[in-house]
A and B are shown apart, each in its own frame.
Chain A
Amino acid sequence: MSDKKSILIINQSAPYASSKARESLDVALTCAIFEMPVSLLFMGDGVLQLLKGQQPEALQTKKHEAMLTALPMYDIDCLYVTSSDLKLHGLHSEDLAVPVNIVEQKQIASLIQQHDTVLTF
């Protein structure tokens, strides 16, 4: 067990239109560098961050998908998505760029309880 505070980052925004998705990963990586246990939960439009096949070259921004696939290098392995939010967008786990834990909506409250700090983006 780590004596560092665990952090749950809740992502509710799609990538690219705003900087929220990028900022949430910046926070996640920063916390991970300081060896804080980090979990990411994707809700609502946040699920769209995980879509496979992003090609943002014309927008001249960094590829969000590439940042997500780098998370395991920072020991961030706990990614959560609710099945209802996947269904909301008609997506399945094979549409996602990274492996995620698919949870039921009623498990979100316990995810919040299990972590010391919760941030939303």
Chain B
Amino acid sequence: MMTLHLLNKSPQSMSLYSNMLASLSDNDSILLIEDGAYGVLDAHCKIFKDLPDAVGLFVLKADAEARGLSERVSALFEVIDDNQFVELTCQNEKVVSWY
């Protein structure tokens, strides 16, 4: 029973992040898209670093690149392209969008 959580707002949207984190199960994945990609900056990583190891952390390549984040992605995150986004969607039983 795995869920993919999509986040499209910057970590400035505190309540969105806390609602999402409160809804996580251990084997879920989080994919940062659009302004969510800013979450890969080290300054914001404290939000993610205490999650269980089994939680997958991903950022969408195009959105990270567009925002000048390619060289600034925290080691916690794996950068994935659109095809991998589709694969991730298929691997998870359901998708929840936090926007």
Residues of A within 8 A of B (CB): 10, 12, 43-45, 82, 105, 108-110, 112-113, 116-118, 120
What residues of chain B lie closer than 8 Å to A45, measured between beta carbons?
15
Q: State which size class the interface on B falls in.
A: 10 to 19
Q: How many angstroms between the C-alpha atoms of A120 and B22 in the bound complex?
A: 14
A-B contact pairs, 27 of them (CB 8 A): A10-B19, A10-B23, A12-B15, A12-B16, A12-B19, A43-B19, A43-B22, A44-B15, A44-B19, A82-B22, A105-B22, A108-B22, A108-B23, A109-B23, A109-B24, A112-B3, A112-B23, A112-B25, A113-B1, A113-B25, A116-B94, A117-B94, A118-B3, A118-B94, A118-B96, A120-B96, A120-B98
User: With an 8 A cutoff between CB atoms, is B97 at the interface?
Assistant: yes
A67 to chain B, nearest CB (A): 22
Most chain A C-beta atoms within 10 Å of own C-beta, residue among B16, B18, B23: B23
Q: How many angstroms between the C-alpha atoms of A120 and B24 in the bound complex?
A: 14
Instruction: List the 10 closest A-B pairs by CB distance, nearest first.
Output: A109-B25, A44-B15, A118-B96, A43-B19, A108-B23, A113-B1, A105-B22, A44-B19, A108-B22, A12-B19
Residues of B within 8 A of A (CB): 1, 3, 15-16, 18-19, 22-25, 94, 96-99
A104 to chain B, nearest CB (A): 10
What residues of chain B lie closer than 8 Å to A12, measured between beta carbons?
15-16, 19
Let me know if B99 and A120 touch, CB within 8 A. yes
Q: How many angstroms between the C-alpha atoms of A120 and B99 in the bound complex?
A: 8
Q: Residue of A at shortest CB range from B23?
A: A108
**Could you list 10 further interchain pairs (A-B, Cβ under 8 angstroms) beyond the known A10-B23, A44-B15, A120-B98?**
A44-B18, A45-B15, A108-B23, A112-B3, A113-B25, A116-B94, A118-B3, A120-B96, A120-B97, A120-B99
